[in-house]
Amino acid sequence: MTPKQRITLILSRQGGFEWGDTYIPSTLAMPREAPKGSRISRLNSRRLGRELHALSTPEKVFTQLALYHPDLFDLHEQKMLWPLTSGHPLRGHPLMKGVFLAPVRGTVEIAKELGFEHYEIGVDLPDGRRAKIPFPYQGDLLLYLRGEDGIPYAVNWTVKDRKEAFGERRLSSVKTPVQQKKDRTHAVLRTKLEEIYYASAGIRTVQVSLDDLPPTVIANLDLLFMTHELPLSLDSSLLDDFSGALREAVNDGEPVAYVAIRYAKRWGSRDQFIAKIYQDIWGRRLPVDFFKPILIDHPFSKDDGDLLKAYGALFQEKES
């Protein structure tokens, strides 16, 4: 795919988006589109009604963390940063009717202010001349959440594998001092460009990296996500009764797997009862310590390990 074809594809996906449409990211998590060497993954979300596209392991993990938050109502991954001034990402949302939303400034203007060389490509014009046009950058994860007053707001997460990567691109590559300086300058300015872009519309940018999360938290998120939306065919009143028995078991220090075994002996469908355990944890109906392995055949720890308390600042509209 040529750069010109790539721009055309991105604009076809992002240019006409309106709230109520099914969102399509600029780049799909598919081998023919994702950057070479990417560890791509696609995550099905019944809650959002679509498949989400992560282009790296850190993006996958932070997508799962975002979906865990009860106030999240949408998420736009691989969202295009408009080269020219454009509307606020929440423009046109039904809950924003009558609310003034500042536009986002174009990345071309911001790059010029920063002294950052905006990526451009050459294209052939209809009259035969050749010209350069700006190639749009992409963000990682743009979260949409409901505030305490019910008014939606957005938070931009820019995602890396480790904190140092925000200060230097191609961090693991062998470089000369000159190239290293160039890569550091590029990374800092590119990060600043995206921060200013969203700040112009009153949207906070948060830098998140995989080394922010302990391996146990990452493993627990992945475990729960695999089962959190599996359809259950058991009667809803039976499942409600089971959920109550699970909470009692946690309070009494009994492994919740034992409750599933007892219910399965009477009603069968052991796998569904086990899935319901994980779904109740994901839905925050069953408290667990996220910083310890979730082992359903062991008593759950009653220590304070609330994921949203630990990382709630990442979701805040304004920095505290």
CATH code for position 125: 3.40.1350.10
Residue 3: predicted pLDDT: 85
Q: DSSP letter string over 183-249?
A: HHHHHHHHHHHHHHHHHTTT-EEEEEEGGGS-HHHHHHHHHHHHHTT----S-HHHHHHHHHHHHHH
pTM score, whole prediction: 0.93
- Total number of domains constituting the chain: 2
pLDDT of residue 304: 80
Determine the Cα–Cα distance for residues 273 and 298; give it in Å rounded to an integer: 16
Question: Do residues 162 and 246 both lie within one domain?
Answer: no
- Other CB atoms within 10 A of residue 195 CB: 18
- Report residue 254: phi and psi, to 5°: -95, 135
Residue indicated by tokens 């929440």: 90
Gap between the Cα atoms of 73 and 71, Å rounded: 6
Same domain for 74 and 169, yes or no, is yes
- How far does Cα 151 stand from its chain's mean position? 20
Q: Are residues 267 and 195 in the same domain?
A: no
Q: Are residues 181 and 154 in the same domain?
A: yes
165 lies in some domain? yes
Q: Of 182, 212, 242, which marks where a domain is finished?
A: 212
Q: Are residues 23 and 108 in the same domain?
A: yes
Is 311 part of a structural domain of the chain?
Answer: no
Residues 116 and 154 reside in one and the same domain: yes
Cα–Cα dist 177/304, whole Å? 46
pLDDT of residue 147: 93
Instruction: List, run by run, the mean pLDDT of 10-residue segments along the chain (320 residues).
Output: 89 93 96 90 92 97 97 97 97 92 97 96 84 95 94 97 89 82 92 98 97 96 92 94 96 96 94 96 94 95 87 93
Residue-number span of the structural domain to which 23 is assigned = 3-212
| Pair 262, 144 in one domain | no
How many other C-beta atoms are found inside a 10 Å radius of the C-beta of residue 156?
24
Calculated CA dihedral for residues 193, 41, 4, 138, nearest 10 degrees: -10
Same domain, 101 and 183: yes
On whether the CB atoms of residues 288 and 308 are closer than 8 A, the answer is no
Residue 185 belongs to some domain of the structure:
yes
Q: Checking phi first, is residue 298 left (phi over 0); if not, alpha (psi -120 to 50) or beta? A: beta
Domain boundary, last residue among 184, 212, 240: 212
Residues 48 and 71 in one domain: yes
Residue 192: predicted pLDDT: 97
Q: Which residue has the tokens 């039976």?
A: 238
- Is residue 313 in a domain? no
Boundary-marking domain end, from 212, 242, 257? 212
Is there a single domain that holds both residue 42 and residue 72?
Answer: yes
The answer to whether residue 318 sits within a structural domain is no
Q: What is the pLDDT of residue 305?
A: 85
